[in-house]
């Protein structure tokens, strides 16, 4: 009896000391592309795909601010602390620059991509991960959200 209580105590101690998965809060996407894009669908696909990875994911009630670069706003920082996030994911739909040899056509004007940045800690001045994912079809936003999620999951598996 004494041995089983001791082994139970050791097991509980081991379980409680195991690292909890990081909590990722995902902000609403900004759209500076001047193109109609379903940003809410991208966010939902992103959250759904991230939940399959090694993290606790939450759709946060905060937005990515339009700026010349992705950075945490005062509102993002407040939500970061209030929701006890370990990481926050910001993303912005942007127009991309077509290659110099490509003529300016209606198709070139629709070249858009999502820039995203993953911040660790509410005082983080720079993202720990920042990339760009091209949107091949503005109507098929689910695959874009999944692409971003795969890159974020890859980051966590590589840590």
In whole angstroms, what is the distance from residue 53 CA to residue 141 CA?
20
Contacts of 9 (CB under 8 A, 6+ apart): none
CATH topology of domain 21-158: Rossmann fold (3.40.50)
Reported as a single tens digit per residue, the pLDDT across 73-132 is 999 999 999 999 999 999 999 987 665 555 554 454 467 899 999 999 888 889 999 999
Helix, strand, coil fractions of the chain, as percent rounded to 5: 35, 25, 40
pTM of the model: 0.80
Question: What percent of the chain shows pLDDT beyond 90?
Answer: 52
123 in Cβ contact with 81 (< 8 Å): no
* Sign (positive or negative) of CA dihedral 68, 35, 139, 102: negative
d(CA 72, CA 36): 25
């Amino acid at each position: 009896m004494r041995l089983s209580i001791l082994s139970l105590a050791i097991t509980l101690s081991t379980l409680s000391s195991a690292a909890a998965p990081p909590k990722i809060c995902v902000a609403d996407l900004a759209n500076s592309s001047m193109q109609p894009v379903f940003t809410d669908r991208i966010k939902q696909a992103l959250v759904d795909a991230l939940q399959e990875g090694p993290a606790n994911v939450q759709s946060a009630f905060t937005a990515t601010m339009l700026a010349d670069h992705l950075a945490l706003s005062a509102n993002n920082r407040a939500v970061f602390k209030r929701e006890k996030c370990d990481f926050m994911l910001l993303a912005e739909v942007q127009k991309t620059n077509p290659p110099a040899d490509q003529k300016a056509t209606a198709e070139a004007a629709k070249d858009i991509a999502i820039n995203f940045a993953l911040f660790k800690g509410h005082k983080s001045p720079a993202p720990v991960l920042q990339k760009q994912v091209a949107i091949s079809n503005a109507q098929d936003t689910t695959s874009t959200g999944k692409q971003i999620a795969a890159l974020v999951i890859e980051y966590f598996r590589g840590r």
